[in-house]
Amino acid sequence: MSGEAFRCLNGGIEYELRCDGCGGAFHCHDDSFYSWDLLCAAAEAEGWRVEPDFEGEHECGACMARATFKHHRHRFAASRAA
Ligand SMILES: [Zn+2]
């Protein structure tokens, strides 16, 4: 649930993509924010995990790296216990 749409002054719609983990917004460097699909593609290209669904889960590269790290630690602990 991290997509937001804004109606801007010129009547167009701008989209904003936020990370579910840290709340940080994705900043694109072109006019991708006029299209949700383009914005998702731009974020994915920069290492975000993006679900095509507007209400889906979105994570920035930093949060994805943290999640992967946690996952590995968990597996390490499990293999030690076995
Ligand atoms: Zn994040």
pLDDT for res 72: 67
Question: How many angstroms does the Cα of residue 12 sit away from the middle of ligand 1?
Answer: 27
Question: How many angstroms does the Cα of residue 1 sit away from the middle of ligand 1?
Answer: 14
pLDDT for res 81: 63
What's this model's pTM, rounded to 2 decimal places?
A: 0.68
Question: How many angstroms does the Cα of residue 66 sit away from the middle of ligand 1?
Answer: 9
* Alpha-carbon torsion (65, 16, 50, 22), positive or negative: positive
Residue 49 contacts residue 63 (beta carbons within 8 Å) = no
Question: How many angstroms does the Cα of residue 82 sit away from the middle of ligand 1?
Answer: 33
pLDDT for res 77: 67
* DSSP line for 19-30: -TTT-PBP--SS
pLDDT for res 9: 66
pLDDT by residue, tens only, the chain of 82 residues: 467 777 766 777 888 899 999 999 997 767 877 888 899 999 999 999 998 787 888 999 999 888 777 666 666 666 776 5
Which residues, at least 6 apart from 15, have a Cβ–Cβ distance to it below 8 Å? Answer: 3, 4, 5, 6, 33, 34, 35, 36, 39
